[in-house]
Amino acid sequence: MNSLTPLENYPADLREVVDWAKNLFGCATARISTFDGQPVMFLVIGWARHTRDLPRVVWRNEDGERIDFSYTEEQAIASGDTVEELKASAAEYHRITQLRVEEFSKEWIAKKP
């Protein structure tokens, strides 16, 4: 399995992780990516975007005409060697993103040796 593997060809447990992640993060897409020969899996989530929604960015063709297009903004947010590790990593990422700066700072300081 690699980043080009269609979702329907994922094993059932990985399809479940993809559906779980889409629900947890409210994203449009989710996929699992690996590097050849490496056991670690990466959970990549994405959101549908369009260039017309970017006020400061304008794409132009060679004639100077504005062109707009849709794209997917993606982030690799979790990793793990097993499905359980991958879900735990994603759940921790989600937990941290819900913290206020003060809460995160207290946790981070408490963990420092």
Mind listing the pLDDT tens digit for each residue in 51-83? Answer: 989 878 888 999 999 999 999 999 999 999 999
Strand partners, 60: 66
Q: Is the pLDDT of residue 5 over 70?
A: no
**Amino acid code (one letter) for 87:** K
Q: What is the pTM of this model?
A: 0.80
Closest CA to 32 of 82, 72, 67, 96: 82
Closest CA to 89 of 79, 103, 102: 79
Q: Using CA of residue 38, residue 42, residue 48, residue 49, what is the dihedral sign? A: negative
